[in-house]
Structure 1
Amino acid sequence: MSTRKYPYAVVIGRFQPVHFGHQRLIEEAARAADRVIVVVGSDRTPRSAKNPFTFDERERMVRACLRSADQMRVSVVGVGDSPYNDQLWIASIQSAVDKLIVQDGHKPAKTKVALVGHLKDASSYYLKLFPSWEFVGLHAVESIHATDVRNLYFDPEMRGQLSPSDLPDGTAAFLDRFTRTEDYAALCEERAFLIDYRDKYRYAGSEFPPIYTTVDAVVVEAGHILLVQRKFHPGKGTWALPGGFVGQHERLQDAAVRELKEETRLKVPVPVLNGSMKASHVFDAPERSQRGRTITHGFFFELSHNQWTGLSDVRADDDAAAVRWVPIAEFLDMQECMYEDHFFIANHFLGGLGKH
């Protein structure tokens, strides 16, 4: 007969990377419950300075900080982001947890679940979004913050200030191995670009950073969506919607059409494009872009298709590595290689067809 208070305890985090604060939360969950479910967020996103490690790598770091006796009691599941729909994100986590409970032969509605976490600041708001779970709060634990780890680790000149003793042994060993990979070098390069970018475009003499305005075009034709592959940082190599910054003297839709034509050389006249615009929407998640606060305006274009001539001709501009019409069925499996929140922007106009 178990003496633990709960049959299940949940710990939610991005674990980029796992530090002592994460380890303490998981250990507390293991003390409180018979089974622990570690929910790893930001699953299925391409590597970036903010989310550098894959789900599999983070699961290995999580398991490396567990005691051998706890390994079989801990399940690690990945849940993707839903930056414009908290309810969908909540449902994804609840579904992942309920699925494991059902696999164990229990009924989720009748099973007591604890949510173990630390309310450190506004970023911990998600801990209050699961009222059916009993919250178990922990006080702060002495630990270097994951953001500080990334800032030191991906700056080759500062990496020496990150001591192995600052992190759990499994995390320190993983990070040491990762420094010898091509992915590490690419992330260091991207981080340096972003720092230079923010310094270059900061308002002179002002404590307030700029807020950028951009446009993105979601263009579909005959069951295909038009994507460009990024040639430069940030997001080098990822796929994106055609788009860019709004000019000083442009209206938003004009900017979207201009960027679309420039990046893809789409052989559709501008008046036809304007007539094909079906909807628009503002996407303003504060952390949507690593470059800084960037609010983008999405425009949805649905082109008429000529079955005799095929899909409209496109050609990559010098700023793009490639451009292609992607079958929407294929696009729905591309979340892991899509730039920033472009997968979610496209899905907003496609009717939420994405596989979450």
Structure 2
Amino acid sequence: MLNVTLASAQPYDVMVFVGRFRFFHNGHLAVMRRALRLGRHLIVLVGSCRQARSLRNPLNFDEVRATILDAFEPAERERLTIVPLIDRYNDIEWLADVQAAVHEVVGRLHPAGGPEPRLCLIGHGKDQSSYYLKMFPQWASEPVPNHESLSATPMREDYLADAEAGLAKWAAHLPANVVDFLRSFARTEAYRNLAEEAAFIADYKRKWAVAPYPPTFVTTDAVLVQSGHILLVERRNNPGKGLLALPGGFVDQHERIRDAMIRELREETRLKVPSGFLEGSIKAVQVFDYPYRSARGRTISHAFLIVLTGDRAGLPKVRGGDDARRAFWLPIGELEPEQMFEDHWHIIRTMLPYASRD
């Protein structure tokens, strides 16, 4: 139960703060301390959870949760509830996730039958990623200024380029426990893999720096399913080396997008199904264009759902080729988002419902 002695001093029962917190810095800490002054309890919703480590999300939920909690005294931690959120391409689904998470926590803090709890969303509208602050009219809203104009993006970039130099530059803007954690994390294989990918991406972007304007890349992905299985590849190279992905790749200058999808599908999996049969089995096509879906830059993917009819001979034989270390069929129920490249798990979740439609 909440500490009822705080009620007279604080205008809200529950404060809500949404962010990715990678890395948790003094700006986040300042917002949370203000939230704890305004409310009796603070719900922290950590976005972009249940996905593979990436340059934008190098830490998993448990690590983020620990860095937040360790920045507070024990009495303050009792007033914090930290909950993971997954990314969604559909805003309505994301809003429902937030509402459900808050409702579940509030239900535990405020049993039914009492007065309606007073809720308030707190946050700083720093950029286009903060549009959510206007999407909860049922709650009060508390805007806050950007503490010291801090942003986690340059912190991540400097840290992954050189952990020691990055921490020396940003240590004054991070809670001491976060600095300690990041020093330890820099000695792990996970950090080394991320640093290798960061170097690859930096070199990749340098090669395009001479373009007269930032490039936009067009790619394709094949969501190929049969008999409750989905065809995946393991990536051979960075970005995402070792992660699982949908077969796909870049569209050549002189080919149609559909032709590029079938070409990449066959190059990466050595699938022997005739092209005409694959085209005739397409059930849905959808564009995935979230501006930050790829670390390489603006990358727009056209995903094709292909549904093959079950065959007594079993699943078609496949093997890795081109950029794929291996190709294989995976039971759909065994998909793990933490193993998937970029937003491919979200692409799969979005496309699969179309498999059963005529």
Same fold (TM over 0.5): yes
Deviates more, 1:341-350 or 1:53-62: 341-350
Aligned residue among 248, 255, 280 for 1:275: 280
What is the match of residue 351 of structure 1? 353
Match of 1:31 in 2: 37
Residues in 1 aligned to 2:116 and 2:240: alpha-carbon distance in whole angstroms: 44
1:303 is matched with which residue: 308, 328, 333? 308
* Offset, 1:122: 2.6
Query: Equivalent residues in 2 for 1:1-356 (5 A)?
Result: 1=5, 2-3=7-8, 4-82=10-88, 84-107=89-112, 110-142=116-148, 144-156=150-162, 158-159=165-166, 161-204=168-211, 206=212, 208-307=213-312, 309-331=313-335, 334-351=336-353
The root-mean-square deviation of aligned C-alpha atoms, in Å, is 1.8
Give ranges in structure 1 of 5+ residues lacking alignment. Answer: none
Mapped partners of 2:100, 2:29: distance in 1: 24
**Structure 1 position 235, deviation (Å):** 1.1
**1:223-242 per-position Cα deviation (integer Å, ceiling 9, x unaligned):** 11111111111111111110
For 1:222 and 1:120, how far apart are their aligned partners in 2? 46
Q: Distance in 2 between matches of 1:347 and 1:234?
A: 22
CA contact (8 A) 2:278 2:306 kept: yes
Give distance in 1, aligned partners of 2:167 and 2:288.
39
- Percent of paired sites with the same residue: 44
Partner SS, residue 60 of structure 1: helix
* Aligned-residue offset at 1:190: 0.5
Count of residues paired in the alignment: 347
**Measured at CA, do residues 318 and 24 of structure 1 come closer, stay the same or move farther in structure 2, by a change above 3 Å?**
same
Report the Cα distance in structure 2 between the residues aligned to 1:140 and 1:184, rounded to whole angstroms.
29
Q: Hey, what's the Cα distance between the residues in 2 that align with 1:351 and 1:85?
A: 14
TM-score relative to the length of structure 1: 0.93
TM-score normalized with structure 2 length: 0.93
Question: What displacement does 1:346 show?
Answer: 1.4
The alpha carbon displacement at 1:162 in A equals 2.1
Q: What is the deviation of 1:144?
A: 3.6
Equivalent AA in structure 2 for residue 225 of structure 1 = I
Q: Is the 8 A contact 1:143 1:166 kept in 2?
A: no
